[in-house]
Amino acid sequence: MEPFYDAFDKIAGISGKAGNLRGQIQEGGNPFEGSRSNEYPTGPMRQPYGPTLFAKAAKDLGYKPFPVPSALISEPYTNPLGVTMGPCTFCGFCTNYGCANYSKASAITTILPALIRKSNFTARTNSEVIKINLDSTGKRATGVVFIDSSGEEWEQPADLVIVAAFTFENVRLMLLSGVGTPYDPNTNVGTTGRNYAYQTANGVQLFFDDKNFNPFIGAGAVGMGIDEFNNDNFDHSGLGFFGGGSTRVTPIGAAPISSRPTPPGTPKWGSDWKKETVKNYLSTMSIGCEASSYSTRTNYLSLDPTYTDRLGRPLLRVTFDFSENDRKMAAYVTGKVAEIAKAMGPRQIVQNPSKGHWNTGPYQSSHIVGGFVMGADPTKSSVNKYLQTWDVPNLFVVGASAFPQNPGYNPTGTAAALAFKAADAIRNQYLKNPGPLVQA
Amino acid sequence: MRQSLLLAAGLFALSTTAAFAQAARDDSFEQIDKGRYLAILGDCAACHTVPGGKPFAGGVTLKTPFGDLVGANITPDPETGIGRMTLDEFQKVMSEGEGPGGFHLYGAMPFTAYTKVSKEDNAAIYAYLNSVEPVKNKVETNLLPFPFNIRLSLIGWNMLNFTKGEFKANPQKSEEWNRGAYIVEGLGHCGTCHTPKNIMGGDKNDQFLEGATLQDWFAPNITSDPHKGIGAWSVEDITAYLKTGANKYDMASGPMAEEVENSSQHWSDQDLKAVAVYLKDNRNAGAKAPAPIAATDARMVAGAAIYADRCSACHVSKGEGIPTLFPRLASAPLVNSDDPTSLIRVVLAGSKAGATHAAPTSPNMPSFAWNLNDKDVANVLTYVRNTWGNAAPAVDPTEVGNLRARLRDE
Ligand SMILES: Cc1cc2nc3c(=O)[nH]c(=O)nc-3n(C[C@H](O)[C@H](O)[C@H](O)COP(=O)(O)OP(=O)(O)OC[C@H]3O[C@@H](n4cnc5c(N)ncnc54)[C@H](O)[C@@H]3O)c2cc1C
Ligand code: SF4
């Protein structure tokens, strides 16, 4: 996989510091990182005050803090497609907005400018694919049906169909098009919708009296982290769970008005609330631990029996709850993070581990995975390691829908590396000899 | 930039089919391909191809201070294009600005530059144009109001503003320099935009390439003047700009972006270098940099604050910009020009850099018309024009207001 991660890093201009360069552990990087062939394309971002304080405390406790690799770039960069990006200015309006500085990598900023110049490329905007067409054998995709903004339906014939519509829509399109057998949790048979997993979001808030973090300075992914409590990086014996998470301080920019950190017990309105807001806005920070969520037999995706979209097609139904394993893991890692928080000397800390049942209300994570997973066994997976569907060899389904479990990391680097791997297999193997790339 | 080949359709009808016999057409592949390249070098498409339309079918409007002129149909359609034009007649259009039947072309069709094109090159362009798909598209080229629409007036104009004659090499200079001069002064018709115009719209030849305003864009000084011109740019910087639309100093936007996209990105490396060598060696003596306005001036103080808030995120606190993404403002020819039209324009209307295969990013600058008033725009530009080594006259808020009104009407 490494060459494909490397290819993606170069397209996106990922900023960071390598922790493992060709097998050699590098001072200042993440020592738990897999071996990389190259440094990150752009250097690590400069760190705001909160991450700096955290990194010092973590280091004093014997951990190995590193700058979080990020698709917000730290210096001017021109990617292999010739597209130029500028350095992030820590504007603080990252998470819910586009980037006016051309610093935040996405397919739109880093690939489309080069792609739209190709004479054989067409993008149909404001169009929605509603179905993958299969021939009478059900073993061959013949194209897709899409609907345009005036409501007209079109058929696009194709020799090769690649679906990359994000986790949920990938799975829904497969269910609606009859690709693979829908997963049945009662019999544990079927693959489409199987292995759906989420992520557990944990955190510790730190209230200080004597610090000013200027929290409006921020960027969507700037920060310092440690990886000692992630996945298999620590000894799980006797703990009664597996998994773990990425520990990080990433100040995304505390938006005025919406961001009002106050300690527990503060009224939710009125003059005391305002007083506490003024007292705490500048001097509060938090440490997050975004942690794993392992798939279970009872968590899955299916077509909703009741609710439909504007075209009368079933919506996707998510059947999910956190498992006992994940809740135990969440309590443990949050406790470890709290130890570092205490060492930083705040007036008060508040632990927020993921607990109780899953709830759609509070924002926890946008990292949803699985439902059309990659594997070696066609009875338990939907696609092979090249993201080619087992049943329909000229149909590839790309995205985090292919992840069979959710580890304690953000998904996009891996989703993109898998896309590069699939593209490489299509160009260098499939096109020369169309058919299954892995014999089941 | 926008030229207009004024060949009224009615006049074609006068020429007889016998005229075809006058000149043999060399339609070998080599000749046509040579013509294709020369048509790119001359950027004929800029005025004769509507974006997205059929090549050379005409219809692009050029706004001149005297009124509108429209690029003619130069496809080989016999009724509405140049299908009935002989090579000799074509040669006369290019070298004398005179169409078949003796009528005169407006200087918007840059025959004052094209007169320098060699007869052989004209023959190749003619062969190429006759090889493209004929398109029936009647174009009314002359939309000028009275009295400018009277072509007779052009006889006097030509006497005052036009020196006929093919390019003559300067034996003192290298072959490369001469090739550059041939392109810049001839087919490239750089002076059409970059040379100041007299009251009649004729070139002020003693100020060749010293910058001029057209269609509310200021085409900057491209002599090697170190302050207002491109004197600091190396040959490599100039070729990178023409080839990709961007170099470490600047990025092409507006009409120059179109030029790079349609024309110079396709020039051969030898021609790019020849043009750069020639431009580096082209400077009128005597141009002196003015003294900058004092940083304590109230306009400068106000401008500095606006710059920090609105501009520095991209153009960086000391005006260095980000190469090939956000143009450099420190020591930039456009910034140091006497005429701030383009600067006011991009602040009010925003701008989008051109895109080429080599530099496809095409970044946007947002419009600040909604959050900066005329005085703010004037102050921030006055600050930019007089900081980090820049020095240029202050921008007058009235000028900003006038351009704002014109842009609103557009
Ligand atoms: C608020 C937020 C923050 C995030 N932060 C991070 C982070 O910090 N790190 C990280 O690694 N990941 C993060 N993610 C996740 C990341 O955005 C995704 O992993 C990534 O975008 C997935 O890429 P994709 O190409 O699979 O899908 P997408 O980027 O979602 O692209 C799918 C495309 O398909 C189109 N589409 C969908 N259905 C159809 C249809 N039927 N017909 C036609 N087109 C269709 C969509 O319009 C979309 O353009 C975040 C996500 C969110 C929402
Ligand atoms: S914080 Fe985000 S939106 Fe702001 S400049 Fe940096 S990358 Fe762009």
| pLDDT tens string B179-224 | 999 999 999 999 889 998 877 677 777 888 889 988 889 999 999 9
| Contact at CB, B323 and A76, closer than 8 angstroms | yes
Per-residue pLDDT, B154: 62
Burial class (CB in 10 A: 0-12, 13-18, 19+), B68: middle
Per-residue pLDDT, B159: 63
Out of A26-40, B133-147, B149-163, pick the least confident: B149-163
Residues of B in contact with A117 (CB under 8 A): 355, 357, 360
The string of pLDDT tens digits covering residues A315-327 is: 999 999 999 999 9
Is A249 found in the same domain as A331? yes
Tell me which residue has its CA closest to atom 4 in ligand 2: A91
Q: Does a structural domain hold residue A309?
A: no
Per-residue pLDDT, B234: 95
| Ligand 1 atom nearest to CA at A220 | 8
Residue A90: closest C-alpha in chain B: B313
Per-residue pLDDT, B214: 84
Is A239 found in the same domain as A131? no
Mean per-residue pLDDT, B379-401: 97
Q: Which residue has the higher pLDDT, A114 or B199?
A: A114
Q: Looking at domain B298-409, which CATH architecture does it have?
A: Orthogonal Bundle (1.10)
Q: Does a structural domain hold residue A6?
A: no
Count of CA atoms in the C-beta half-sphere (13 A) of A380? 8
CA A88 / ligand 1 centre spacing (Å) = 21
Is A405 found in the same domain as A288? no
Residue in this structure with the two tokens 């080839």, named with its chain if needed: B243
From the CA of A99, the nearest ligand is 2
**Gap between the Cα atoms of A374 and A381, Å rounded:** 6
DSSP B203: B
Asked if residues A331 and A354 have their Cβ atoms less than 8 Å apart, the reply is no
Mean of the per-residue pLDDT values of chain B: 86
Out of A187-191, B78-82, B200-204, pick the least confident: B200-204
Q: Looking at domain B175-280, which CATH architecture does it have?
A: Orthogonal Bundle (1.10)
Q: Which of B357, B360, B366 is closest, CB to CB, to A100?
A: B366
CA A198 / ligand 2 centre spacing (Å) = 26
Residues of B in contact with A84 (CB under 8 A): 322-325, 359, 361, 363
**Gap between the Cα atoms of A258 and A427, Å rounded:** 48
One-letter identity of residue A27: E
**Gap between the Cα atoms of B307 and B284, Å rounded:** 33
Between β-strands A161-163 and A395-397, what pairing exists: parallel, antiparallel or unpaired? Answer: parallel
Nearest to B166 by CA among B235, B129, B217, B111: B111
End-to-end CA distance of chain A: 21
Residue B228 pLDDT > 50: yes
The string of pLDDT tens digits covering residues A172-185 is: 999 999 999 999 99
**Integer angstrom CA distances of residue B49 from B40, B55, B194:** 12, 5, 22
ipTM: 0.86
Is A383 found in the same domain as A337? no
Per-residue pLDDT, B9: 32
Residues with a CB atom less than 6 Å from ligand 2: A 72, 88-91, 93-94, 99, 101, 103-104, 219-220
Rg (CA), chain B: 22
The string of pLDDT tens digits covering residues A245-261 is: 999 999 999 988 889 99
Per-residue pLDDT, A158: 98
The string of pLDDT tens digits covering residues A356-411 is: 999 888 888 999 999 999 999 999 999 999 999 999 999 999 999 999 999 999 99
**Integer angstrom CA distances of residue A250 from A74, A94, A241, A350:** 15, 12, 27, 17
Is A377 found in the same domain as A269? no
**Gap between the Cα atoms of B78 and B75, Å rounded:** 9
**Gap between the Cα atoms of B330 and B311, Å rounded:** 13
Residues of B in contact with A89 (CB under 8 A): 313
DSSP B394: P
Query: Which segments of chain B belong to CATH 1.10.760.10?
Result: 298-409
Q: Does a structural domain hold residue A236?
A: yes
Q: Which string of b and e fits A193-211 if b means at least 16 CB within 10 Å? A: bbbbbbbbbbbbbbbbeeb
Residue B18 pLDDT > 50: no
What secondary structure does DSSP assign to A174-214, as a single string?
Answer: HHHHT-SPBPBTTTTB--BTEEEE--EEEEEEEE-SS----
Per-residue pLDDT, B98: 75
Is A263 found in the same domain as A224? yes
The predicted model scores a pTM of 0.88
Is A136 found in the same domain as A251? no
Partner A, chain B 281-340, Cβ-Cβ below 8 Å:
313-314, 322-326
Mean per-residue pLDDT, B61-89: 86
Q: How confident is the model at residue B107 (pLDDT cuts 50, 70, 90)?
A: low
Question: CA A208, A211, A216: angle at the middle one, nearest 5?
Answer: 100
Residue B4 pLDDT > 80: no
Residues of B in contact with A72 (CB under 8 A): none
Per-residue pLDDT, B289: 83
Residue B241 pLDDT > 60: yes
Per-residue pLDDT, B141: 72
Is A180 found in the same domain as A211? no
Mean per-residue pLDDT, B347-369: 94
Out of A342-346, B143-147, B189-193, pick the least confident: B143-147
| Contact at CB, A82 and B355, closer than 8 angstroms | no
Sign of CA dihedral A173, A175, A180, A184: positive
Residue B10 pLDDT > 60: no
Q: Which residue numbers of A are catalytic?
A: 367
Q: Which residue has the higher pLDDT, A267 or B19?
A: A267
Is A141 found in the same domain as A264? no
Task: Report how many domains make up chain A.
Answer: 2
The strand pairing partners of A436, in sequence order, are none
Residue B11 pLDDT > 90: no
Residue B327: closest C-alpha in chain A: A86
Q: Does a structural domain hold residue A312?
A: no
From A47, A77, A90, A102, the mutation candidate for ligand 2 (largest count of ligand atoms within 8 A of CB) is A90
Out of A46-60, A295-309, B56-70, pick the least confident: B56-70
Q: Does a structural domain hold residue A118?
A: no
Q: Does a structural domain hold residue A105?
A: no
Helix (H) or strand (E) holding A143: strand A141-147
Residue A336 pLDDT > 70: yes
Q: Which of A84, A100, A101 is closest, CB to CB, to B324?
A: A84
Mean of the per-residue pLDDT values of chain A: 96
Mean per-residue pLDDT, B9-37: 60
Domain enclosing residue A428, as ranges:
124-186+367-440
Select from 1.10.760, 3.30.1050, 1.10.357, 1.20.1690 the CATH code of B29-161.
1.10.760
Token output for A309: 């979209």
CA A47 / ligand 1 centre spacing (Å) = 27
Helix (H) or strand (E) holding A421: helix A412-425
Per-residue pLDDT, B165: 79
Q: Does a structural domain hold residue A60?
A: no
| Ligand 2 atom nearest to CA at A88 | 6
Task: Provide the CATH number for the domain around residue A177.
Answer: 3.50.50.60
Mean per-residue pLDDT, B213-237: 91
Is A206 found in the same domain as A178? no
Is A374 found in the same domain as A294? no
Per-residue pLDDT, B109: 73
Residues of B in contact with A91 (CB under 8 A): 313
End-to-end CA distance of chain B: 19
Is A285 found in the same domain as A391? no
Partner B, chain A 35-54, Cβ-Cβ below 8 Å:
none
Nearest to B107 by CA among B11, B14, B214: B214
The string of pLDDT tens digits covering residues B292-335 is: 999 999 999 999 999 999 999 999 999 999 999 999 999 998 99
Q: Does a structural domain hold residue A181?
A: yes
Rg (CA), chain A: 23
Partner A, chain B 81-110, Cβ-Cβ below 8 Å:
none
